[in-house]
């Protein structure tokens, strides 16, 4: 089974590593309205949530509700719906 595809601790450890990687390696581009640390943290967390949605680990309703909560703080054009 590939890393991140298992259950329990393996998935959590993989997702924490993914979040750290995303946070440290966010591209400096047009999607960034702000360069703040908080913006990058929220963006990385939303990308992780998007990953969980695509892997069918959270429902579409939960995913959309989370995106809706952050629509005023983050440019959501980089996220699939």
How does pLDDT run along the chain (81 residues), one tens digit per residue?
344 444 444 444 556 566 666 666 665 554 544 467 888 888 899 999 999 999 999 999 999 999 999 888 888 888 877
What residues does each domain of the chain span? 34-81
CB 58 within 8 A of CB 52: yes
Regarding pTM above 0.75, the answer is no
Q: Give the up-direction half-sphere exposure of residue 45: CA atoms within 13 A in the CB hemisphere.
A: 12
What's the CA gap between 5 and 1, in Å, rounded?
6
Residue 74: CB atoms within 10 A of its CB come to 20
At residue 28, the pLDDT reads 58
At residue 26, the pLDDT reads 62
């Amino acid at each position: 089974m590939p890393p991140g595809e298992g259950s329990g601790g393996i998935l959590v450890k993989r997702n924490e590593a993914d979040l750290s990687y995303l946070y440290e390696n966010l591209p400096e581009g047009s999607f960034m309205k702000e360069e703040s640390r908080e913006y990058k943290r929220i963006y990385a967390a939303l990308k992780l949530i998007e990953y969980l949605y695509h892997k069918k680990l959270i429902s579409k309703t939960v995913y959309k509700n989370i995106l809706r909560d952050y629509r005023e703080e983050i440019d959501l054009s980089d996220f699939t719906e």
